[in-house]
Amino acid sequence: MSDLPSQGEGRRAKPRVGLFITCLVDLMRPSVGFAAVKLLEDAGCSVEVPVQTCCGQPAYNSGDRGTSRDLAERMIEAFRGFEYVVAPSGSCAGMVRKHYPELFEDDPNWLPKANALAAKTYELTSFLVDVMGVTAVNASFDGAVTYHDSCSGLRELGVKAQPRKLLASMPGVTLVEMNDSDVCCGFGGTFAVKYSDISGAIVEAKAKNIEAAQAPTLLAGDLGCLMNMAGRLSREGKPIAVRHVAEVLAGMTDEPPIGTAKEPRSA
């Protein structure tokens, strides 16, 4: 804990945040990562991005404990020096917060380190609101949005009010709640490929609820779910813009929405 600023001299020191970028944001949509960096810096944090690969969740959920532990150990090492670790994903933050301690439960050597990382790891919007006390963001966006609560963030980390609170601070944004916003979109990682027909049926039902909300933009806090929903909406030809909530909160919506081209073509 030597990295923590001591009460007296360091009270106003900037918290040192390690950005846990997550595989999907790293590979698919880096703009979400830059939006997260902006939000964190605006909130008064200093942000660093240590070299990282994958937290091990796909292996963990496939029953491969060995690989998950290998990757988890790397994560623990990579983020050791930070005061906080923040991910633009409830699912990946949940993996560290809830599942790393389970993964090392019978390893007295690694368990304390896993617990330490778990305790300082947060999902982005909950970190901003619950830890940094952010009540408003300084960004503009015009229009109605609807918000999907991704499962892990919601049920493992209690992320529900925080993104809504931040969106409510943006005067141009109207939040229209869809029905069953807290029901799974059918992504489930490899589930979407392994049980593709079932996943397809679940996301079809989700797309109906999204459409019925009649908001031109869909937001959520997890890129996996977003890609699933965006992919379904575009397959059905529904012109709903899909974005990570961080992009809107940071006012960084120059990049085209998920699953659309830079130059919109008449598809």
Question: Which positions from 224 through 253 interact with other proteins, judged by CB under 8 A?
Answer: 227-228, 230-232, 234-235
Number of residues that bind other proteins (CB under 8 A): 72
* Cα 49 to Cα 66: distance, rounded to the nearest angstrom: 26
Helix or strand holding residue 46 (H, E): strand 46-48
CA 22 to chain centre: 8
61 binds other proteins per the rule CB under 8 A: yes
In this structure, how many other beta carbons lie within 10 angstroms of the beta carbon of residue 132? Answer: 19
In this structure, how many other beta carbons lie within 10 angstroms of the beta carbon of residue 224? Answer: 23
Binding track over 128-167 against other proteins, x by CB under 8 A: -----------------------xx--xx-----------
Binding track over 162-191 against other proteins, x by CB under 8 A: --------------------xxx-xxxxxx
Helix or strand holding residue 147 (H, E): strand 143-147
Q: Which is nearer to other proteins, 173 or 192 (CB)?
A: 192
Which residues, 73 to 102, sit near other proteins by CB under 8 A?
74, 102
CB 69 within 8 A of CB 133: no
* Cα 98 to Cα 137: distance, rounded to the nearest angstrom: 28
User: Minimal CA–CA distance to 145: which of 108, 120, 174?
Assistant: 174
Candidate list 174, 209, 253, 260; residue touching other proteins; CB under 8 A = 260
52 binds other proteins per the rule CB under 8 A: yes
Among 4-12, 55-63, 212-220, 246-254, the segment contacting other proteins (CB under 8 A): 55-63
Candidate list 13, 136, 161, 198; residue touching other proteins; CB under 8 A = 198
